[in-house]
Every structure is written in C-alpha cells, then in structure tokens.
Chain A
Amino acid sequence: MSTVPIEIGHPSVQHWAEPGHADHRSFLRKYIFSTDHKVIGCQFLIMSLTFLLIGGLLAMLIRWQLGWPGTAVPGGAILGDAKAPGGIILPEFYNSLVTMHGTIMIFFAIMPLLVGVFGNWLIPLHVGAADMAFPRLNMASFWTALPAGVIMLSSFFVTGGSAAAGWTAYAPLSASPELSGVYMGQKLWCLSLIVLGFSSLMGAVNYITTIVNMRAPGMKWMRLPLPIWALFITAILVLLAIPVLTGALILLLFDQTIGTTFFLPKDGGQPLMWQHLFWYFGHPEVYILILPAMGIASEVISNGSRKPIFGYKFMVYAIVAIAFLGWIVWGHHMFQSGMNPLLGGAFMTSTMIIAVPSAIKVFNWLGTIYRGDIHFHVPMLNALAFVAMFVIGGLSGVFMASTPVDIYIHDTYFIVAHIHYVLFGGSLFAIFAGIYFWYPKFFGRMLNPTLGKIHFALTFVFYNAVFFPMHNLGLDGMMRRIYDPNQYEYLAQYQPMNTFISVSALLLGASQLIFLFNFLWSLRGGKKAPANPWNSNSLEWTLPSPPPHGNFPTMPTVYRGPYEYSVPGREADYWPQSEPPGEPERKAAHREEVHA
C-alpha cells in the first residue's frame, strides 16, 4: 500500500456550506443537471411516480379485459387497430400489457422509488455527509435511467408492439420473433434494461462508497438508521445481481439480432439457461424490492410508536441473512421448469430457511409497537399496513416454497396474489409511508393529513379487495397471463369474482388520484414544514426543510443510535442523534469509563 501520508484523491466533497451563503448555481445546474443528492432524489421521485401511473394504467386495461372480456374499453379506440380495434383489447396486446405492466412496475417504479429516491434522499443526510461520494456519477445515474425509461415506453409505438413474453421474458419465446410476433419491441426491452443496469450500477457504487467512507464522526455501523442498513445491503445486491441480468440480456439480444443460438434449442442452445441466469438475478431483485421498504417501515414504526426499535441488532442481522440466503434460492421459481427435481428439493429447503429472518423482522415490529405510545400519523398508518400486508405475502410464500403444493399453484393467480402482497402491500405501502414521512423535509411543505388518511383508507380497502380473492382464483386453478379465462369451462364460473376484482381495481386506481392531487397541491398549498415535524432523531431533522445545498453547516457529531425514543429522565420523548449528551449523561458515561 501507499506510504504517502496524505489524502490523495480523497474527495474534498465535504465542502460544508457556510450558513447564509447564497446559492449561485444557475437554474439548469440547480434543478436539471444537478449533482445535489436531494434534487436527484426528487428527479427520481417524479420519474418513478410517472412510471407508477403508467404501470397502473396498464393494470387497469388488464383488469378491464378480465372483468368484462371482449368488451370495448371506454375510450380504448385511441389505442389503435393494432392493439385494440374499436377499444376491444386483442390477445397479443393483452400479452404486451401483462409484460409491460410487470416490467415497468418492477424496474421503473418500485425499484427507482426505493433505491433511487430513498437512496438519494436519505443516505448522505442519514450518515452526516454533504453529498454522495461521487456527485457527478450520481447525476449520470439519473440521466441514464430516464433514457432507459423512454426506450421502454417507445416500444409501445413500434410495429409488432412492445415485448409480450412476460416480464420474465422466457426464451425461446422472447428470443424468436417469428414465434412471438414481436420484433423491435423485445429488442428495445432488452436494450432498455441494459441501459437501466448502468444507472443502477452507478447508484450502487455511490451508495456503498458513501455509506462505508463518509459517515460523520460517531456514526458507527450500529448507529446507522435501519433504512441505511437496508439500502447498503440492497446496493450490494444491485451491484452483484444486475450485471448477471445484463449478461443474460446481452445474450438474448444477440439471439434476436445477430443470429446466435444461446437460448434457441435449434442449434443446441439451452432455454433453461435463460431461466437460471434470469432468476439468479431475479431473486436478489426480489429483496432489492423489499429490503429498503423494510428499512423505511422500521424507521417510521419506531417513530410512530415513540419507542426504540425492538432488537436493532437482530434487524440488521436479519437483513444481512436475507441478502445472503437470497443468492441460493433462485431455483424456487423453477420447480416445474424441468430442472432436476432433486435440485428442487434443495431449493425448497433454502427457501424455507429464508422465511425465518423475514419472520424475525415481523416479530420485531410487533415488539416495537408493544407498550409504545402510538401516534397514528399518515406515515405510521402506511407503515403498519406494510407490516400487516407483508405478513400475508410472506405466509403465502410458504405455500409456493413447498414443492408439491407449488405443482398446483405455480403460474396461477396464487402467485399473482403473492407477488402483489409483497410488492404492493409490502413495498408500495412502505413507499407511501416514506413519501408522507420525508416529503416535508425535501419539499418544505406538509402533505395534507386528512387527504392522506382518506387515501390510505381507500387504498387499503380496495387493495385487499383486488388481491385477496386472487389467492382463491389461483386455488381454483386459474392460470396467470391468460387473456380470457372463459375459454376454460371450469374457469368461466369465476367470472363474477373477476368482475368484482376489476371493479375494485378501478376504484383502487381512482383512489390514487387523491394522492396525486395531495402531492401536487401541497407543493405550494401545503402547510410550511418545520425542521422536525415528526420529532424524529436522525440527522436530517436537525436541518431546515428543505436542507440547503451541502446539507450540514458544520460536520455533525453523532452521540447515539437513531431510535432513542422515550428515554427515561428526559422530558422530550426523542433524542436527536447529534445532540451532545447533557451533564447527567456525561457523568454517567464517565462513570462507566472508569469502571471499565
């Protein structure tokens, strides 16, 4: 190693903004090509909420077809004759809808919301840094993600339509245009996700470096807020999983363009190899989509209960265990794929074990609210819904982990219910909790709590009305991704249930307009946010809302963990991480030192 005792290349990023120093950056530098992590977080927020809206609209079309098969979507004629002549959705367009709904929601809504938005918003502020380790790389990350999204959306408008082989893009259907009828669309799909992979990679490098290297004095690993632990482990998963997807996508793209046969059985290619590569990425991806949500929920639940998080260390160990085990369970997506059944047995065992750390987390959340002083503010309501729904998603996972039961429910609506209980009931409720919680910090205004509560209540009710009956449809044998279940006599009798789900889905979609309105209206009309509206402990709440460019006026020093709520002997029921210990505490600490 080097012998030069100087901070070579050490980022002099820590330009602590001088208080009262005016910000002279141009509009373009401040809001468009900004290197400020807070602005980049907001850019990701706007981008991914837009994609959430688009993905939601695609879901509405899917539900229309399933609720009222073969009838014209109101106003659907604008989709054009190639997709929906006279508003009646064609089977090939239905496959596109299913594929693009999954792809957009996973890669362009939930993932950037959790990783892009909260990663950017929280990491530098929570560790006490002025910005990310590599601010320009951070900016590049957003400006790579956006074109990837544009490429994905553009595929709707090419001849042959967008990708239609499912978000999992199983080869050889995805690799052979003549069998899928999709030409340019599938190629754009691959290209878009390859480009997005670069964006994720830049983000991950930044997050890991920032968390490892730029923690303020006193911010020991075991004093990190749990969202940061979750994002740190998530960044490692992104870093290691995304390149595998990129590799697989490149091979798939070569099969479609230059005429290789990696996944085409014609010349010895292996269709199952796609599934192995895809799920080797795909299962860590599942945890990429839930770990940050768990971190956010932990933060909000501890705050809402005014109580330290129960078993902080176990929460951290559970995150690490999930991330580790997440690499050896990918085969549980492939029990019925033709993979060796003995391997299936092994994957069943590892999958069952991964349920344990998830259970630990749920019990610790219960332990946190137990004997708390629970304030039902809007973030708290959403975080509690996250716990309640994640329990259902976790328990339904056990059915599919059991290989024999999976024989029956694999590829049915049971899995559709399961994934939505985890990704909507889980991730999305935590995202809502996070947005309600940190919106004031980054936009300087409070979201309207009454509208927030109405939005929460309607979303919670309609969400369950949509997805809970899907378990039953799955148990009744309804396959996923079918355009018209009435083709099957034994499924035709469930049309009323499908219609019920579709009505609920439309209402669920409509309820989100309340959120949209609240979000936009509060930007100007919301109550001015104080520095610390939730009486919370982590470092960002010591700063004005929104924090200035460069964040902290002076380097903060951290004295304690982030969940010191209701400490006996203190009048306030919270204790900011950077508040120097008072005289009694200092004496106590001194006594301990002497005794040690």
Chain B
Amino acid sequence: MSHGAAISATHPMEGMKVYNLKLGMWVFLLSEVMFFSSLIGAYIILRFAHPEQWAEPNVVLNVPLTGFNTFMLICSSVTMVKAFAAIEHGDQAGLRKWLIATIILGSAFVSIQVFEYIKLAHEGFVPVAARYAAEGGPLYGSTFYTMTGFHGAHVTIGVLALIFTTIKAFRGKYSATDYGGVEIMGLYWHFVDLVWIILFTIVYLI
C-alpha cells in the first residue's frame, strides 16, 4: 500500500488509499459474486430436490476435455499476472507479449466451450425441457447451459476487453507509473477464472 501514502499526499482526501478504478472494480466484482451465487443457489436447490435428474460425472459431460480447458484458463491467469508484472517494471514488450498470450488462451477456452456445446446438443443434452434426450433430466441441461453460458459470456467480454487493453498497450498508453487499466483488467480476469474453478467443480466433478 505504499502508493497510498503518495495519494494522500498529492490528493488530500480521506479515501481508502486504493485508487478509484481499482476500488470500483472490486465493488463491481462483489455484485458479480452475488449474481453467480444466485445461479449457483438455484442449482443447489434444484439438484437437492431432484437428484435423479443428474447423471454421474463424465457420463454426459466430457470431464477430461473440460479439465484441459480449465487448465488453459488457469494458465491465462498466470499470463495475466505476467503482463501486469511486466508493466509494473515498465516492460512494454513484455506487457504486449503476455496480453496476447492471455487473449489466445481465453479465446481457446471459449472455442472449446462452443465446440463442447455443439457436441452435447447433438447428443440431446439441451436446455429445452421438451427436447431433452440425454441421460438425467431436463433440469440438468438447463442449469448446465445457464451457468456455463453466463460464465462463457463473462470470458467473452473479458477477451474483448483484453483486446481493447492490448490495443492501448500497443499505443503505449500504459507505463510503470500508469498501469491502472492493466491492473483492473487483471482483477476481472482472475475473478472469471475463480468462478470457473467453482463451476467446474460443482457442475462437472460433483
């Protein structure tokens, strides 16, 4: 928190010593926690009420493939940390390199998820109750697509934001003294990653 002292020196406010963008992102992520909690809560209620509608792990859903996908997303968090570390030290080339790596990993995650969706839909695993034809029951399908779908949307938005951040990085908008944009991008990205680890556990593994 060493920069906090500097802020209070140059900006004599009674603030929390965390700059606005970062505080705003933290606050926003709290509301995201509540959003995913509502979906996860609904999932838990439905699954407890109708355990018979869920198939054993790895029967309908492809756990190895998604496990690999999860690994990639975790790697993308690492590359994001690398990007942040680079710009902290003013390493512009490093920032660009690691941001691009994060974009590639994030896009690969979304692509594999789309591929998985298409394959599952062909096997009758769909969110629509009336057309559900896979093992288990329709609640399995509808909760699966809702939860992974909203997460996937968050990853997609994250990739778009990363592209935007990368363009700014190529234009040299960040520096060792001005990297707030990269830091909040990282916060969002790690959050999305964390949510996936929870979703992967309860949707695929349990």
Contact = CB atoms under 8 A, between A and B. Distances in A.
Q: Do chains A and B touch in the complex (CB under 8 A)?
A: yes
Interface residues of A, number: 60
A204 B27 contact: yes
Given A216-B13, A248-B38, A10 B7 contact: yes
A267 interface: yes
Nearest to A261: B129
Contacts of B127: 254, 258-260
Contacts of A14: 11
B42 to A, nearest CB: 6
B3 interface: yes
A268 B137 contact: yes
A262 B138 CA distance: 9
Nearest to A200: B31
B194 interface: no
Contacts of A219: 14
B111 interface: no
Given A239-B30, A276-B45, A9 B12 contact: no
A7 B17 CA distance: 10
Interface stretch (A39-47, A182-190, A205-213, A512-520): A205-213
A199 to B, nearest CB: 13
Contacts of A303: none
A273 B3 contact: no
A450 interface: no
B35 A243 contact: yes
Nearest to B140: A268
A80 interface: no
Given A8-B19, A205-B28, A209-B24, A267 B176 contact: no
Interface string A75-93: 0000000000000000000
B128 A277 contact: no
A244 B20 contact: no
Contact of B138 (A5, A220, A221, A260): A260
B121 to A, nearest CB: 13
A213 B6 contact: no
A260 B129 contact: yes
A241 B31 CA distance: 8
Given A204-B27, A254-B142, A11 B20 contact: yes
Contacts of B16: 212-213
Interface in A1-52: 1-11, 13-14
In this complex, the interface size class of chain B, counting residues with CB under 8 Å from chain A, is 35 or more
Nearest to A11: B20
A8 B179 contact: yes
B118 to A, nearest CB: 17
A10 B14 CA distance: 14
Contact of B178 (A9, A212, A239, A555): A9
B13 A133 contact: no
B135 interface: no
A251 interface: yes
A269 B27 CA distance: 33
Interface string A119-137: 0000000000000011001
A201 B28 CA distance: 8
Given A270-B45, A270-B46, A8 B3 contact: yes
B14 A6 contact: no
Contacts of B206: none
A243 B1 CA distance: 31
Contacts of B10: 7
A369 B170 CA distance: 63
B12 A217 contact: yes
Interface string A521-553: 000000000000000000000000000000000
A216 B143 CA distance: 48
Contact of B41 (A4, A215, A277): A277
B3 A4 contact: yes
A323 B172 CA distance: 45
A148 B43 CA distance: 28
Given A4-B176, A8-B179, A270-B45, A213 B2 contact: no
A9 B21 contact: yes
B177 to A, nearest CB: 5
B137 A239 contact: no
Nearest to A555: B12
Contacts of A269: 46, 139
B2 A1 contact: yes
A7 B30 contact: no
A242 interface: yes
A247 interface: yes
A29 B19 CA distance: 27
A201 B49 CA distance: 32
Nearest to A557: B12
B124 interface: no
Nearest to B15: A213
Given A247-B38, A267-B138, A277-B38, A9 B31 contact: no
B88 interface: yes
Interface of A: 1-11, 13-14, 133-134, 137, 201, 204-206, 208-209, 212-221, 239-244, 246-248, 250-251, 254, 258-262, 264, 266-270, 273, 276-277, 280, 555
Given A8-B3, A243-B34, A262-B139, 9 more contacts: A4-B176, A9-B22, A9-B178, A209-B24, A213-B19, A239-B31, A240-B34, A244-B34, A262-B143
21 contacts: A1-B3, A7-B6, A8-B19, A8-B178, A10-B19, A13-B20, A14-B11, A137-B24, A205-B24, A205-B31, A214-B15, A216-B13, A217-B12, A239-B27, A250-B146, A254-B142, A259-B127, A261-B142, A269-B46, A277-B38, A277-B41
